[in-house]
Structure 1
Amino acid sequence: MKICLVTPSPVPFVMGGAEKLFLGLVEAINHHTSHVADLIKIPVFEQGFWGLVDGYRLFAELDLSHFDLVISTKYPAWMIRHKNHHVYLQHKLRGFYDLYQAAPQGLKGGEPRSAPRALPDHPSLQGLLAILDRSHPDRKDMDDLFAELGRLRHLRLPENIFVFPGPLIRRVVHFLDQIGLSSDNIVSYSAISRTVANRKDYFPAGVPVRVLHHPTSLKGLAPGTKQDYLFTASRLSELKRLHLLVAAYARVPGNLPFLIAGTGAEEFTLARQAAHDPRIQFLGFVPDAQLSQLYRDALAVPFVPYDEDYGLITLEAMRCAKPVLTCSDSGGVTELVQSGVTGEIATPTVESIAGLLANLVENPARSQDLGRNALERVRPITWSNFVRDLLDQVSLPRIVRTPSTSAQPRGHILVLSTFGVHPPLQGGQLRIFHLYRQLTNHYDVTILSLGNLDAPEEAIEMAPGYVEHRIPRVKAQAREEMRLKDLSGISCGDIMVITHWAQNNRFMDVLQEYLSSTDCVVLSHPYMAHALQECWDGPVV
């Protein structure tokens, strides 16, 4: 298959966990599967009303029909229109969903946010608000919304109407997400964690959501033998709650250094808070090679964010056999950390965190045991396993059959071929291509064929109602084909199928899928007769 991962590119650009997932996923599909994948990004400035609206509109207008399958993970990329669109959701715009007016425990202040809830009142907004009030909105409603927003953009309206963040843009985002993520537009849903899968208003009601923990793209992660310091790596923002760690470590006795990598808005505040504790060192930005080494030489990795989507820091630490200390409300982190087994889970208070940190520092042998368990916990989370699971329920969409102009519905004929047909360049290809094309006047025809090893899976619409679906050979088939050729001195790709049809699980799965709705099967050659006998008792030509 030709697969597209479609994502926003943040303006200004930052290389965060989402961006690392994008790069790692495309590389993994291209390396670990027979498919080919590309990454397509559109710049989005999401810190302003009109920048966010423009981002949603640009993705809604993006044509990706030249791909067989599209995967989106973040807003506003899921606004694209595609017949085979799958969502692997990282998170929605959290400030307009689960974090709107939130006051999580352990954050400084603790008072509810003062984000306004009431929509602005202005006569010019009546048309817009009427659109936003439509129930069960669809793509037509989306087009109406963008048109009305375009009209309002050129009026000289009070600035407070388009305040960001604010209730109007929040309502617009909810409206658009409802359309983009509708089950009318999405084939399947997955999430990066149970935490994300269970969040209110993240997915349409009643749809099944698979949880798939993805690996990290950070290189050089391996168990280390040193225990020279505590280490954490994080964006220095309020939601990461580094201030809790600084305050807690002040209560931990001893001289063990605590190294903190990362940059962010809280950098100056945290440095001032830790000024009287020389054990705490802020490293700023750390390149990947150094980051891996810092994990390997640490005693443990404390990471206590509020309701984290997933937390790659957790996975990276555990890949280096380091226990992770986190909090009970840290979201996705707690899905990997088991208290007293692979790390520790504190309540989000300074006292609780300090007690468990002291336990890790004062008992390095126990910390090492927890680290070994942590490594075993995350060992199965690899790119090959992840891509296999992600694409497990993903296949090429069934080609929409050309509507018949008669009152009688069109039938479907499935033709099996041991070689690819399109483009038709020589004898057998030309014969199959032209012969079965003549049947498309009365039937929809699908040619299910075997392609070359390591070639991509493809669905090629050769004419209206005429499709070749090509599945690549697997290694066992290619080896047998070469063995037979060495013995006979001639090409044996056809003969190989007689005995090695069952080795190609993907081919057999697709075959059975087509057989569930076909009327007749044509064997272009007899070599696939045994494969067909296993799963079909209908008409055969």
Structure 2
Amino acid sequence: MRIAVCAPQVPFVRGGAEIFTDKLVEELSARGHETALVTIPFKWYPGTKVLSQAFLWRLADLEESNGAPIDLVVATKFPSYCVRHPNKRVWVLHQFRQAYELDRTDLGQFGEEAEDRALRRSVQTLDRVALGEAKRLFATSRNVADRIERSTGLVAEVMPHPPQELPYRCEEYGDFVLSVNRLDRAKRIDLLIEAAAIDPGLRVVIAGEGPDHDRLEGLARERGLNGRVEFAGLADETELASLYARCLAVYYAPVDEDFGMVPFEAFLSRKPV
């Protein structure tokens, strides 16, 4: 069977969703399917960009490639699941949360102007149409499935995906608390830095990169935490497994998380979260 796995891609960003889609392609290929990862660059801001980005997927023709039919598409997160195909499966990692529970919060994107409110409603309408086209609809967690049902009325089967394969182990319960996340406001890593400012015995290692890096680094400087908060950047698989193996505990406190691989990975390393 020829299968196209569809996923949006923010250039120069790699996180849990990218690890998941790469592994999905690998596993389908190992089972004898001819599988390709199809991506389209995604820019979700300003709000007026959201629908135009979704329509790029809507216009994509994935019914055939190079004269041969594509038998099945597996779409993952917004806006890739807007793709059209007569045999579409969707395994939802998350919707465009700024149009739902993050709306009218500090993490929201749509303002109070009539145009912004109409854009938000259009995203919701598109979700109902695009997800409703799926022959099978899966969600990576109960939290995601509940959001889908509340927002669209559609019922998704819960099918969690496994964590990435690392040489998990526990070497010691060391002297630092580890954060593994994309550096984004929704991950609330600033709370960990504030905790370090209160507890002079707390050392923190922050693994990851993202748009919130400069703000977090500035916060650590303001709180006089130089030397106690280390920004480790993007860790490769060997480095990440070593950090898990040596840390005291793992910090994880995103806003209403979809499905956290980090707690999974921490538990496999026998570390508290």
**Which bin holds the TM-score, normalised by the shorter protein?**
0.7 to 0.9
RMSD: 2.5
The aligned residue for residue 101 of structure 2 is: 98
Aligned mates of 1:20, 1:116 — CA distance in 2: 33
The aligned residue for residue 116 of structure 1 is: 111
Distance 1:190 1:13, change over 3 A: same
Higher relative contact order (CA 8 A, sep 6+): 2
The aligned residue for residue 261 of structure 2 is: 312
The letter of the residue matching 1:208 is V
The letter of the residue matching 1:36 is E
Tell me which of 165, 168, 177 is aligned to 2:118.
Answer: 168
Q: Answer yes or no: is the 8 Å Cα contact 1:181–1:203 preserved in 2.
A: no
Distance 1:58 1:272, change over 3 A: closer
Question: 1:259 is paired with a residue of what secondary structure?
Answer: strand
Deviation of the 1:262 alpha carbon: 2.1
Q: Answer yes or no: is the 8 Å Cα contact 2:93–2:144 preserved in 1.
A: yes
Q: Answer yes or no: is the 8 Å Cα contact 2:167–2:238 preserved in 1.
A: no
In the alignment, does 2:21 pair up with 1:73? no
The letter of the residue matching 2:70 is F
What percentage of residue pairs aligned between the two structures are identical?
32
Aligned residues: 264
Q: Answer yes or no: is the 8 Å Cα contact 1:2–1:36 preserved in 2.
A: yes
Deviations 1:120-157 (A, max 9, x none): 4xxxxxxxxxxxxxxxxxxxxxxxxxxxxxxxxxxxxx
| Superposition TM-score, scaled by structure 2 size | 0.85
Deviations 1:426-479 (A, max 9, x none): xxxxxxxxxxxxxxxxxxxxxxxxxxxxxxxxxxxxxxxxxxxxxxxxxxxxxx
Tell me which of 221, 237, 245 is aligned to 1:288.
Answer: 237
Deviations 1:371-427 (A, max 9, x none): xxxxxxxxxxxxxxxxxxxxxxxxxxxxxxxxxxxxxxxxxxxxxxxxxxxxxxxxx
The aligned runs of 1:380-419 (5 Å cut-off) are none
Q: Answer yes or no: is the 8 Å Cα contact 2:173–2:248 preserved in 1.
A: yes
Deviation of the 1:87 alpha carbon: 1.1
Runs of 4 or more above 4 Å deviation: 200-203
Deviations 1:29-76 (A, max 9, x none): 222x24332211122332245643333222222222222221111122
Distance 1:203 1:316, change over 3 A: same
Aligned mates of 2:177, 2:76 — CA distance in 1: 33
Tell me which of 210, 214, 234 is aligned to 2:161.
Answer: 214
Aligned mates of 1:171, 1:233 — CA distance in 2: 34
Distance 1:175 1:91, change over 3 A: same
- Unaligned 5+ runs, structure 2: 64-68
Distance 1:54 1:265, change over 3 A: closer
Q: Answer yes or no: is the 8 Å Cα contact 1:221–1:316 preserved in 2.
A: no
The aligned residue for residue 125 of structure 1 is: none
The letter of the residue matching 1:267 is H
- Unaligned 5+ runs, structure 1: 105-112, 121-165, 325-541
Aligned mates of 2:134, 2:206 — CA distance in 1: 40
Q: Answer yes or no: is the 8 Å Cα contact 2:148–2:155 preserved in 1.
A: no
The aligned residue for residue 233 of structure 1 is: 180
Distance 1:43 1:114, change over 3 A: closer
The aligned residue for residue 16 of structure 1 is: 15
Q: Answer yes or no: is the 8 Å Cα contact 2:245–2:269 preserved in 1.
A: yes
Deviation of the 1:27 alpha carbon: 0.5
Aligned mates of 1:28, 1:44 — CA distance in 2: 25
In the alignment, does 2:62 pair up with 1:59? no
In the alignment, does 2:196 pair up with 1:246? no
Q: Which has the larger radius of gyration?
A: 1
Deviation of the 1:204 alpha carbon: 3.3
Aligned mates of 2:118, 2:155 — CA distance in 1: 30
Aligned mates of 1:84, 1:114 — CA distance in 2: 33
The aligned residue for residue 40 of structure 1 is: 38
Distance 1:22 1:100, change over 3 A: same
Q: Answer yes or no: is the 8 Å Cα contact 1:234–1:240 preserved in 2.
A: yes
In the alignment, does 2:210 pair up with 1:264? yes
Deviation of the 1:118 alpha carbon: 4.5
The aligned runs of 1:491-530 (5 Å cut-off) are none
Distance 1:114 1:280, change over 3 A: closer
Deviation of the 1:88 alpha carbon: 0.7
Question: 1:317 is paired with a residue of what secondary structure?
Answer: helix
Distance 1:57 1:237, change over 3 A: closer
The letter of the residue matching 2:8 is P
